[in-house]
Structure 1
């Protein structure tokens, strides 16, 4: 079974999200959109039409624990997976701390596991 197939997104908190987004836009050329992040399209020579993207997003440091919790880390990494249900079942069988909540939306399926350091890791199966 494939497990992680790539990075789906990187989300982090900032004391001044607007200023930090602007710094990344000006100095690193990150194409920040009105919603506060950027979507980097997946393109290769063999596949010039993107079939997905990696999200980069800066949020406020005062955000509640729902997004990043239960840990206090100022970041969360979202990993692409091929089969979320199978991976969550395997992680549970391996004794990992898998959160009961899952999400299924137009953006795909989401699940979460807590790593040994207490960081919340988001697992994302893109929509077909």
Structure 2
């Protein structure tokens, strides 16, 4: 079974989200959008777009994307979130809640790593 197939997103929590976004935009050239982040389109070895994106976002932390105890969250793309959640439970991992399929953005699940970090698992919708 395939497990993680890539990074779906990186979500930072900041004390001053607008200032941090501006710093990344000015100094690193990240095309920060009004919603607070950027979408990096995947490309092949020739630089041609392929099917997939990685989201990068900075927020105040009040949106719930980053747990209170963490500075960031990594969202991992997975092939089959239901099968992975079952395997993680069978392996004794602490899965948080049930798979969420309500967003229209795909399927989401969460697991705690041994250090207490909440990790997000994401199965994109078909064709993404």
Q: TM-score, normalising length from structure 2?
A: 0.90
Backbone CA RMSD of aligned residues: 1.6
2: CA distance, partners of 1:47 / 1:29: 18
Provide Cα deviations, 1:9-61, integer angstroms capped at 9, x if missing partner: 00010010000000000000001011000000011146823322000000104
Alpha-carbon separation, structure 1, partners of 2:104 and 2:52: 13
**Could you say which residue in structure 2 is the equivalent of 1:4?**
4
Aligned residue in 1 for 2:30 = 30
The correspondence of residues 1-128 of structure 1 with structure 2, limited to 5 A, is: 1-45=1-45, 48-61=48-61, 63=62, 66-69=64-67, 72-104=69-101, 105-128=103-126
Unaligned runs of 5+ in 1: none
Deviation at 1:95, TM superposition (A): 0.3
Bigger shift: 98-107 or 28-37? Answer: 98-107
* Counterpart Cα distance in 2 of 1:86 and 1:101: 12
Please give the alpha-carbon distance, in whole angstroms, between the structure 1 residues aligned to 2:87 and 2:47: 32
> Normalized against structure 1, the TM-score is what?
0.90
User: 2:13, 2:66 within 8 Å by CA — same for their partners in 1?
Assistant: no
Checking the alignment, whether the CA contact within 8 Å between 2:75 and 2:121 is kept in structure 1 is yes
